Amino acid sequence: MLTDITDALRDAYGVHAAELHHILAGTNTVNYRVVDENGRRWFAKIYRGDLGRERAAIELTEFARGGDVPVPAVRRTLDGDVLCERVPMSLWEFVDGVTAEGGLAGARWPAVGTVLGRLHRRLAEHLAATPTRQPAVGVRNVSKAPRSFDRIIDGYASRAGLRPFEQWAWEAAKERRGLLDRAGAILAELPDLTVQIVHGDLASPNLMLRGDEVAAVIDFQPPSPRFTAWEIARIGCDPRTVMLGDDWIDGLAELLLAYRDEHPAAHVDDLVSSVATGCAYTLASTYPLAEPLDDPAAVTPSLELYARARHEAALVMLERLPDVQDLLRERLRPRP
């Protein structure tokens, strides 16, 4: 495999690899840090899925970069393609930094808000979909969630013995099953919200930080219209941040103010509704509660920690939702 990658780097990209280091990150790709003969570093992504989707995701990344969004530059092959189908792989500039998985705090809040606002302002121009206003119930089809939760609950109940995480996931699934009506009511009470092309997976592992600044936004999904409020919640209400303490509430307000400064055309309703959409979406989601049943190999200690944080964060957001919405509405009130 390493020889194939080295040969492809040389023949397809003209890059002569002196070092090749496997990076233990990524779920749908196998990643490597490449050091070429001149000491320059590159990031190589080896694909295992649909190349058509991967190509579309790379092209969306390039589109965002054209709007001054900090994303890594993709190196095209000698034939001008965004990926090499021979291995298959893509090659990117290497970005120094750490992911936002440690949570947002301090000056990182407005820094992330500025980049997110710039990203959504740019992607609103994408030809794949014109921004529209749609009922917030489209954020998550809560009516289908009971069947999904019942399958999980019954699946655990049918097992003779449960491991500690499985026992916890069973109890969490039953608790969330009982909150589905509230999740549906939260979305039904929201105004129509903006749907447009978004990043698609803007969680903390896909946000690279260097100090308090955003070094890069990575791992775009193929262009697909989604609710901007949902994407704001993905990063602004990330479980690892919410579980750091109540500072996330004021921090989110700072993020949204910076977002609006960078994207003045954004609707205040989308910003104020971000916590509500994030809360309802998470309550109605079975991930990763179902992983021990559906994909046991994916259950790692880090996934278990994330599952617990995601569940607790949803409950925190639910408890604090009225107060948080009032605070955001006040902080985002148009200035006279």
Tokens representing 119? 């990203």
Residue 336 located in a structural domain: no
Domain match, 116 and 81 both: no
CA angle 129, 197, 256 (to 5 degrees): 135
> Residue 186 carries which side chain, given as an amino acid letter?
I
Contact, 243 vs 318, CB < 8 A?
Answer: no
Domain match, 106 and 42 both: no
Domain match, 44 and 126 both: no
Contact, 49 vs 28, CB < 8 A?
Answer: yes
Provide the pairing of β-strand 207-210 with 98-99.
antiparallel
Domain match, 170 and 198 both: yes
Q: Sign of dihedral through CA atoms 136, 138, 139, 141?
A: positive
Q: What CATH number should be reported for the domain holding residue 127?
A: 3.90.1200.10
Q: Per-residue pLDDT for the chain (336 aa), expressed as one digit of tens each?
A: 788 999 999 999 999 999 999 998 766 789 999 999 999 999 999 998 889 999 999 999 999 999 999 999 999 999 999 999 989 999 999 999 999 999 999 999 999 999 999 999 999 999 999 999 999 999 999 999 999 999 999 999 999 999 999 999 999 999 999 999 999 999 999 999 999 999 999 999 999 999 999 999 999 999 999 999 999 999 999 999 999 999 999 999 999 999 999 999 999 999 999 999 999 999 999 999 999 999 999 999 999 999 999 999 999 999 999 999 999 999 998 765
Domain match, 64 and 166 both: no
Domain that holds residue 113: 100-331
Residue 148: Cβ-neighbour burial (10 angstroms; 0-12, 13-18, 19+): middle
Q: Among 74, 94, 114, which residue terminates a domain?
A: 94
Domain match, 125 and 57 both: no
Q: What CATH number should be reported for the domain holding residue 23?
A: 3.30.200.20
**Residue 74 C-beta-side C-alpha neighbours within 13 Å:** 27
Domain match, 46 and 72 both: yes
Domain match, 124 and 69 both: no
Domain match, 85 and 120 both: no
Q: Name the pTM for this structure.
A: 0.95
